[in-house]
Amino acid sequence: MTIDFSNVLLTVLSLVVLAVPGFLMAKLKMFPENASSVLSTVVLYCCQTFIVFMSFQNYEFSAEIGLNMLWVGLLAFLVHFIMIAIVSIFVKGKNEAKARCVRYGSVFGNCGYIGIPLIKMLFEGSSYQGEVLIYTAIVITVWNILNWTVGVYLITKDKSQISPKKIIFNPVIIAVLLGLICFVTIQKPIADVATQGTFIDNMLEKLMTSCNYLGDAVTPLSMVVVGMRLANVNLKQLFMDKYAYLQVILKLVVMSLVCMLIVAFLPLAVTVKYGLFFTLSMPAATSTALFAVKFGGDGDFGSVCVLLSTILSIITIPLMFLLFSQGFGIVI
């Protein structure tokens, strides 16, 4: 299987199609008022938790994979810290509430909410899918650690709001830890542990199938939520706020370039480079708006940042991938 520009473009467009039902049903007032929030909670704390855990159940552990996971974690931290430095230096403005949304949204992307569905669809049927999903889970772990520390500070400028408990008791972090423990100790999928044909083997297989069903729901549900949110935003406001375009450029172009320049010349597996590139090239995280509301910021502008970058990522992800694959010769 070859991942090329047309493949990436079609995958992104396929994700957009999944958002259409949510958009239409919201426009037709077929959802209750809080439907978007409820579905978001299901995706973030249930479906995403299972898909992260199951990411470690599609591949066998090896010393090489373990080393690659360490590289992914270190490089994910590095890219985020470089972007934090960039936005701290260059993002200024008279409207501090908007500036905080721009800083946060330029660093923290939707690596789980949209990144996982994109990677699952892009590598569907490929022998690389399991490995790339493992690296995606590591990036999501780094994201969660930084989100509840540096991310909270970027949006609030108040160290007292930082909550280590949010990291420790985050369902996704717990899923990663459990997945890693099983992955490293058992070194093969849980469904393959028991003797084939026995009751325990059948039970484990059914259990893992149920977990897969919950994880697979991330793709349709997350895009339905995106469609619902898009339906509730004033399109004129969405495309006319010049400050939001600064966030789009920083997140979708600058962060992708930073990632490319860091990984392109390192002697790493192509799967590692692809995993980092795609997860770190995602649009602004949904929490840009959620944090702005939670901590007394500009929630409306935060929503504009999320939706505008999500829409424009339809263009930027394939184009940045074209530069990554052709300009730097990173081909799988």
CATH number for the domain spanning 290: value is: 1.20.1530
User: Is 212 inside a domain boundary?
Assistant: yes
User: Is 332 inside a domain boundary?
Assistant: no
User: Is 186 inside a domain boundary?
Assistant: yes
pLDDT of 87 = 95
- Give the count of domains, the chain: 1
Residue 259 has pLDDT above 90, yes or no: yes
User: Is 306 inside a domain boundary?
Assistant: yes
Residue 101 CB contacts under 8 Å (≥ 6 apart), including other chains = 155, 247, 288, 292, 297, 298, 301, 302, 305
- Helix extents (H) in the chain: 5-27, 35-42, 48-55, 63-90, 96-107, 115-122, 129-146, 152-156, 164-168, 171-186, 199-216, 218-231, 235-240, 242-248, 255-263, 270-280, 287-294, 299-322
Query: How far apart, in whole angstroms, are the C-alpha atoms of residue 108 and residue 298?
Result: 17
Report pLDDT digits (tens) over 177-201: 999 999 989 988 898 888 888 999 8
User: Is 297 inside a domain boundary?
Assistant: yes
Report pLDDT digits (tens) over 141-158: 999 899 989 998 998 888
User: Is 55 inside a domain boundary?
Assistant: yes
Q: How confident is the model at residue 100 (pLDDT cuts 50, 70, 90)?
A: very high
Report pLDDT digits (tens) over 27-54: 999 998 888 888 888 887 888 899 889 9
Residue 289 has pLDDT above 90, yes or no: no
Domain that holds residue 37: 5-327
User: Is 243 inside a domain boundary?
Assistant: yes
Residue 113 has pLDDT above 80, yes or no: no
